[in-house]
Amino acid sequence: MMTSSILNPLDFIPQIPIGNWVDGFIQSLRGLIGPITRIISAFLSGMMGLMSDVLILIPPFLLILIISAIAWKLASQRVAAFSFLGLSLIYNIGLWEESIITITMILVAVFISLLIGLPTGILSTRYELVHKIVWPILDFMQTMPAFVYLIPAIFFFRLGVVSAMIATVVFSVPPVIRLTGLGIRLVPEDMIEAATAFGTTDWQKLTKVQLPLAMPTIMAGVNQCIMLALSMVVIAAMIGAGGLGAVVLRGIQRVDLGLGFEGGVSVVILAIILDRITQRSKDANE
């Protein structure tokens, strides 16, 4: 024992209580921003509730047709056919409501991600300082295991849909910021110069030249954002998010392979539909 300690001087350093510190920090933060979190919480759950209520109210067959039509318009006939068959299958195996909840969560999370991500991405190309601050945070956010986000989310917003939503946004916002920034930076210098030479203001340059030209890259970011949101929404079932994730989770808890598989297939179907629709509309812009 003694020898091992001498050979390993690191043993003499008392354990640094990183866990306690983070705990304490989160706790005190919770007290400070409690009112804000309650507002956010109310807003998010209200928005989610309203949206899923509306979607549930639409007769399933009509909604399937609408989604297929959107797929046709934005992507292709094949994607439309797949959407129709896939969604019909989900309805058939009785996971329609769960899927609606999952879709709603994704839509709201992606909406918030874009709301945060697009301006942040744009700002990062204007101000080097923003870039320098935001990029390391993004690296941190993306390398941190996804499950870890669930814990502070619960602390601030309690178990349930809102926490899941927050964790999902944190998880899915990085590609939006990164690819918006990248897309704008990739706009050829001579386009910017031409725009400047015609006397554009910064805002005109952004809206008339930079954003349209960056659109394919930004859409790739949106596509990734949706995919990440979908994967996180499933994981977030562990903190009570509901939806298809909950089905999969039940399958795990009961070691019910059939149930788990049905939930999993439904997730895959949604993933493919969302991916193809956003990817094709990205290509169309090029």
Partner 1 sequence: MATIKVENITKIFGNRPKEALEMLKEGISKDEILEKTRNTVGVNNASFEIAEGETFVIMGLSGSGKSTLIRCMNRLIEPTSGEVWVGEDNITKMKPEELRNFRRHKQAMVFQKFALFPHKTVAENVSFGLEIQGLGEEERMEKALEALDLVGLKGYANQKPGQLSGGMQQRVGLARCLAVDPEILFMDEAFSALDPLIRKDMQDELLALQSKMNKTIVFITHDLDEALKLGDRVAIMKDGIIEQIDAPEDILRNPKTEYVARFVEDVDLSKVLTAEGVMVKAKAVARPKDGPRMVLRKMREAGISGIFMVSRDDELIGYINADNAKKAVEADQKDVENILERDLVTTSPDKTLNELFELMATASIPVAVVDENNKFKGLIIRGSLLSGLVKEEYSHDDE
247 C-beta neighbours (distance < 10 Å), count: 25
Q: What is the DSSP letter of 208?
A: I
**Which one of residues 18, 199, 255, 258 is an interface residue with partner 1 (CB under 8 A)?**
199
Interaction pattern, residues 202-231, with partner 1; x per rule: CB under 8 A: --x---xx--xx-x----------------
194 near partner 1, judged by CB under 8 A: yes
196 near partner 1, judged by CB under 8 A: yes
CB of 179 to partner 1, least distance (A): 17
**Which one of residues 190, 203, 255, 258 is an interface residue with partner 1 (CB under 8 A)?**
190
Q: How many residues bind partner 1 (CB under 8 A)?
A: 18
* Complete DSSP assignment for 35-101: HHHHHHHHHHHHHHHHHHHHHHHS-HHHHHHHHHHHHHHHS-HHHHHHHHHHHHHHHHTT-HHHHHH
Q: Which is nearer to partner 1, 160 or 216 (CB)?
A: 216
Q: Report whether 161 contacts 242 (CB < 8 A).
A: yes
**Which one of residues 28, 201, 207, 253 is an interface residue with partner 1 (CB under 8 A)?**
201
What angle is formed at CA 254 by the lines to CA 229 and CA 172, rounded to 5 degrees?
10
Stretch that binds partner 1, among 55-63, 161-169, 190-198, 229-237 (CB under 8 A): 190-198
Instruction: Compute the distance between CA of residue 180 and CA of residue 119 in angstroms, rounded to an integer.
Output: 9
> What does the binding site for partner 1 look like in residue numbers (CB under 8 A)?
188, 190-191, 193-201, 204, 208-209, 212-213, 215
